[in-house]
Structure 1
Amino acid sequence: MDHSQESNVFLQEIEHLRQEIQRHNKLYYVDDQPQISDAEYDRLMRRLQELESLHPDLITPDSPTQRVGAAPLEKFGTVTHSIPMLSLANAMDEEELREFDHRIKRTLGTEAEIEYVFEPKIDGLAVEVVYENGMLVMGSTRGDGITGENVTQNLKTISSIPLRLLTSDPETRQSIVLPRKIEVRGEVYMDKTDFLTLNQERELTGEPLFANPRNSAAGSLRQLDPSVTAKRPLKAFFYAIGAVEGVNFDTHWNMLAYFRTLGLRTNPLNKICQGIEQVLEQYQHLNETKDSLPYEIDGTVVKVNSRHLQEELGTISRSPRWAIAFKFPAKQETTKILDILVQVGRTGALTPVAVLEPINIRGVQVSRATLHNQDEIDRKDIRIGDTVVVQRAGDVIPEVVNIVESGRTGAEKIFVMPTRCPVCQGEVIRPDGEAVHRCTNPNCPAKQIGHLEHFVSKRAMNIEGVSTKQIESFVNNGLIRDAADFYFLKKEQLLPLERMADKSADNVMQAIAQSKHPTLSRFVYALGIRHVGEHTASMLANYFGSLDRLKIASEEELTAIYEIGPEVAKSVSQYFSDPGTAKLLQKFFDGGVEIVNPEGVAARQHLTGKSFVLTGTLPSYTRDEAKDLIEKAGGRVVSSVSKKTDYVVAGRDPGSKLAKAQQLGVNILNEEEFQQLLQA
C-alpha cells in the first residue's frame, strides 16, 4: 500500500471516529440518552488522538480533539454583536407578572390567552456563539449588550458546545437544513456539585475560593489561558438567537427544537404554557423543586411563543416587550459585622472571615461569612461594625453581598490584612499576580493542622472521631509531626491529654486501626498532593492500579491520561520524586498502612459507565459507604435524576428523586436489589 492509499485509509477511520464522537456528544449532552459508557467514549477519543498524532496533517479545527489548541492570550479582544443582546425586565411578584400579560394583550388588542414558553433562568454567564457553514467561528460574552469579550477559544473547550453543527440526524440519518450563518445565545454555567468540588480543590492548593457557581463559571470562562478553562467543568444551555441566514421559525418553541437537531443543548425543563395562569403553576412547581436541580437558577423567563407576535410587540429601551424575568424570593438577610478574623489554611493562605450577629437564612443559622480576600473587602468597602446584606451563595457558602451605607455611624473600623501570621507570627506576603496573602513559615502549625485535618477527613482516610481540637492537642504535645505519626500513636500517650478519657482514647485508636486499609484512590487523595482532588485521585488510581506504578510515572505518561493536564502532571511527578515523600510513604507502611483493592487491578469494574442516584436512608450503609461501593465497581454517583440515570437506590423516607425516577422510568433498587447488583 503506497503512502496515498495509507493516508486515505487513516482519513476514513478518522472521519468515522469524528462522526461517532459527534453523534455520541449529541446523545449525551442534548438528548440525555447516552448509548455507550464513559469508558467506551474515552476509547473512541483516545483512538482519534492516536491517529491524529501519527498524521497531524489530517487534523482539522473542528476535530473533537481540538477543544484546547490555542496559546494563552495577553488580553481578550472585543466583539460587536450584530443584533444587541437585550436585557430583560423583571417581575418581582405575581401581580407584576399578570400586569406583563395584560400589557401584551392590550398591545396586541386581544383578550385571547397568550401562548408562552416557560424557561428556567440559569444563574450563569450569557454568551453568543456564531456558526458559519456549521463551523464555530466566534464566541463572545454578553458584555454591555452591544460589545462583549472574544472568548472563542475558551468556549471551544466546553464539551456541550459543538465545534461543528450536525448536518444529519444521528439516528434517522435525515439531512438537516444548515444555515449559512447562525448566532445562538445561551448561558454558560457550572453544576453545584462541580462548584463545591472545584472549591475543595482550590482550597487544597491554597487558591482563593469562588463565591458561588455563577462566579466560578464567569471566572473560568474569562481565563486568558484556554487550557485553564478546559479543566473547569463548564456546561451550556442555549435559548435565544441573534442573526440567522437560511432558516426561519414560526415559534420560539420550534426554534429550540431546531437547536437540538443541530446538536445545541437546550434545557429539558422548558415548557409551553397556555396563558399566564399555567405559567404561574409552573413557577410555583419550579420554586418548590429548584433546590433538587443540579445547577443554580434565580428565577424563570417567560417568552411569547409566536415569533410573529414577538416582532409585532417589538422592544422598549433595551428590553423586549415579549419576554420577562420572574425572579424567585431572595435568600438574603441584613445583619452586622462584629469582627473580622483571619483563618490560615494548610497551604498558608490567609482568608478573612466576618463574624456576624447571628441571622437565619432559609432555615440555616448563619454567624460567619467569608470575605474571600483583601481585594474583595476593598472593592465592597467592608468595615468592622458595618451593617451588611448576607446571602447563602449557591445555598451553601454564606457571603457578604454589600454594605448598607445608611447604617454607618462613623465608628466602623477599616480592616487591613496582617503582615504577620495570626497563628505563628511568620511573615505574610502577597505573591505577584495573586489575590491571596500567604504565611511564609514552612513550619506554621496552621499548615500542619490543616494538612492533618484533610488526611483524617471522611473522603480521605476516614479516621472517624478525630476532631480538629484533638489534632491540635496531638501537635502541641509533640505526638504528631506528620500524617504517618497517627499509626505510631499508643493509648498511653493519649490518656494524659486534656478531655481524653479511657473510652475516648479507645475510640481514637480503633478509628486509626480501621483506617489502615484504604483504597488507592483514598490514600492518594489523603496525601494532599497539590492540584489532586478526589476526582483526580480516583482517575490516577484507576489508570495505574498500584502505588508502585504511580510513583514512577513520568510527566508525559501522566499528561496522556484523559483530563490530566500539564499542571497536575507536574505536581504529581514532583511530589513522588521528592526524597521526603519516599520516607513518608515508607513510614506509613512501617506503621501498618496497607492499600487494598487497587482500583485498576483487583477491583471488579462491572458497573463501569453506570450512574446512580442515592435517596433516603439505607439500613446497612451510610451514604459514603454506598458511594464507595459503587465507585469501586466502576460506577459513579450523581446528585440528580435524569433520563440518563441508570439506577436510583431508594432507602427509607426517599425524597422527590424517587418520584422523578418513577416519572422518567429509571430503574429503582431497594437495598436488597442494590446488594445483588453489587455482587452480580
Structure 2
Amino acid sequence: MADADPRDRIDELAAALRAWREEYYAGEPSVDDATFDAAEDELRGLLAEHPDLTPADNPLDQVGAAPSGARRAIRHARPMLSLAKVSPANREEGVREFAQRFPGQPLRVTPKLDGVSLSIVFQDGALEYVATRGDGTTGEEVTSAARAVIPELPTALGDGAAGRVEVRGEAVMLQSTFDAYNAAHPDKPLANPRNACAGTLLQKDPAAAAEAGRVLRFYAFDVHAPEATDLTVQGLADRGFHVPAIEVVEGADAVLEVIAAIEAARPTNDFDIDGAVVQLDAAKAFAAAGNRSSTPRGAVAVKLAAEERETVLRDISWEVGPGGKVVPRAVLEPVFVGGTTVSSATLANQEVVRARGVKVGMRVLVKRAGDVIPFVSGPAPGPQPDDVREAEIPTHCPSCGTELVEQGNSRELFCTNLDCPAQTLRRLQWWAGRAAADMEAVGEVWIAKLYEDGVLRTPADFYAITAEQLMEYDRMGEVSSRRFVESIERSKDMGLRRALIGFGIRHAREGTAKRLCQAGFGSVEEIAAASAEDLAAVKDIGPIVARSIADYFARPEVAELVAALRAHGVSLDVRDEDRPVEVAAAADTPLKGATVVVTGAIVHPDTGEKVARPAFVRLLEQAGATSASSVSASTTFLITGNDVGASKTAKAQKLEVAVVDQAQAWGWLADAGVS
C-alpha cells in the first residue's frame, strides 16, 4: 500500500506506544520488548521522512510514565531521562560510534538493571525523601514504602556529605527473594521480579509486604553532590549503598570487552539485567555533553542479546482482553529461561504468528532477557517433527462466537460484543484492580466465581453484593466477607480518573484519564457527551484515542452502566486532586511567576486547623506560583510553617533565597482571592 496516508500509521503507532508504555509501568505489559522496539523504530523512520506529521504528544520523547496522582508529586531537580538504545545486532557499530564522539574520554560501563528507577535525596547527610522517576520531570514520593521494603537503604550519609545530595539508582527484587516468596505463597505467586518490584513499592501496607518477604534491594549508579565534590558513585559503597560492578576504560575495544564479560556473567546474577550502560565517567564531561529531548548525549544503553532456550510449542490459545482484543498465546513445554520457568509466552497478534513462521508441534526458540514477558522468537534450527500444523487464526470470538474484526496494520483481532463472557470477566477484574476501583480484598479468583454464578455481570453489580451472600460460599467466613464488602464500599469514592481507567477503553489508559481531568472535564457524563473532535482538542490526545473514547460512550449499554453506577452511589466526578490548577485572574501578587518551596506544618490562619501540604501547595499554584520540593538557586521563596528544621532555611540563606513565614503567604493568597 505505497499510496497509504502515512499520517494514519503514525497516529496508530503513537497510540499503541503510549498504551504499551502505560501498561508496562502499571505492571501489566501486553507486548514484549522486541515488539515495542520495532514499533519505536518504525515510528522514528516515518517521522524522519515526514517531520511535519510529528504528533504533539510524541511517544519517542516520553520518559517513563506520568505520576498517578495518588502520592505527593516530586519535581526532580535534574530530569531523570531514559537512555538511547543500541540494539544487540548493532552493538559494535553503536559502541564505536559513541566512543568516537568523545575521543580520549574515560568511559564507565555498568550492568543495566531491570527494576524501578528511584531518586534518593539527602539534606546535610539525612534522608529527605525517595521518589520514583515518573515522567522524567515529576515523580511520586515513596519514602515510607522504600524504607519499609528496602531494609538496607541508608537513611544517613555520614560525614562529608553537606548540602543536598541526590543518589539515583535502581530498586530490584532479587531472583532469590522472588523464588522464596513464591514458594511461601503458592496461592498468590508473583508474576516476575520486575513487576513484583514495582508492585511492592505501591503496596498500601509496605511493612506487611516486607514482613511477608516482599523486600527489595537498591543499587546506586549516580550521585549528584554540588557541595560534596569528592563524593563518587564508587564511594557510595563505603556509605552503605550497594553499587553494581563498575569498569572505567578507554576506547571502544575495551568497552566491548567489558560488555561481553557482563553478558557472560548474566546467568550467575541474582538480579535481572537487560543490557549495559556506557557513559562518560567525568561528571563535567557528562554535563557538557548535554541532553536531547528525552535522552542524555553522554550515555547509551547497549541491549544484550536475549537469553534463548529451545522448547516445544504445544498449542496456540486465543485470549480475549477487557477491551475485546483477541491475542494469541503460545502454550509451551515448560522451559527455564531468563531466571524463570516459562510455560506460556506472548505472540502479540496474528501477523506476528505468520511473520515468525511458528507452527503447532514444532520446536521453537523462547527468549526472555530484560523483557518483562517471554516471547517466541521463531522456529528452532534444524529438522522439525513431521506432525507440525499451521496455527489456526480464528474468525470468530473463542468465547462468544461473534465474528471478529481486524483493525490496524497489524490486523489485530477484536470482538465487538460487549456481552462476550471472556471480555466481561476481564472487564470486571480490570475494574476491581489497583489502577481503577482498587478493591484490595477482592481477588480475581473470587470475581471469576461470582461471575460464573451470575452474581456479577457489570461493574455496577459489585456494589449490590452483601456479606450474607458471600458467607454462603465455602472458605468465605464472616471476617472475609466483611472485608470483601468493605473494600467494595470504600471504592465508591473512586472519582472520574479512576473510573475512566476502569472502563478499559482501548488506547485510553492512565495517562489519557489524567489528561481529560486536567482538561476540565468534571464527570463521566461530560466526557460521554463530548464529540471525538472535542476530545482530540485536548492536549496530547490524538484522533485515534479520541475516536475510541467517543465510540465507547456511544454504546447504549455503557450509558446504562454509568446510570447504574450512579444509582449505587459510585462517584464518577473529578476529585479535587485531579482537577486542573486554575490561576486566579487577579493573582497579581509576589506569588505570580515565583518558584516556591514549602517546609514545616501549615495551619489555616482562620480556623487554626492543620492544612495538608499538597492542599496548601495547590493554593499557591492557583495564585500563579510553581512549586518545587527542595531549595535551589532558582527558588524565589522558601515558605515556612511551624516546626521547621534548620537544613532548608540554612540552604535558603546560603543561596540568598527569601524566607517567608506562612502568615505572609496566607496574606498573598487572600490578595489573590484563592484562600
TM-score interval (norm. to shorter): 0.3 to 0.5
TM-score, structure 2 length as denominator?
0.48
Which structure has the larger Rg?
1
TM-score, structure 1 length as denominator?
0.48
